[in-house]
Amino acid sequence: MVNTILTIALAIIILSIAITMIRFVIGKTVIDRIIAFDIMTIASISMI
């Protein structure tokens, strides 16, 4: 049960990093890219 929940949580975090990476690449302004980088950092730390 716990293993399933952790797997689902990891999949959601990886999906959020992928979506944020798209925003980081496509971002129109520097502020968009800075915020996307910050979100990717937080999501990466949450995987630890």
How far apart are alpha carbons 47 and 35 in whole angstroms?
A: 19
Predicted confidence at residue 8, as pLDDT, reads 97
pTM of the full structure: 0.82
Report angle CA 14, 42, 15 to the nearest 5 degrees: 15
pLDDT at residue 21, as a whole number = 96
Query: 1-48: per-residue pLDDT in tens?
Result: 999 999 999 999 999 999 999 999 998 999 999 999 999 999 999 988
Q: Which residues contact 48 (CB under 8 A, 6 or more apart)?
A: none
**Confidence at residue 47, expressed as pLDDT on a 0 to 100 scale:** 87
Q: Which two tokens stand for residue 30?
A: 């520097």
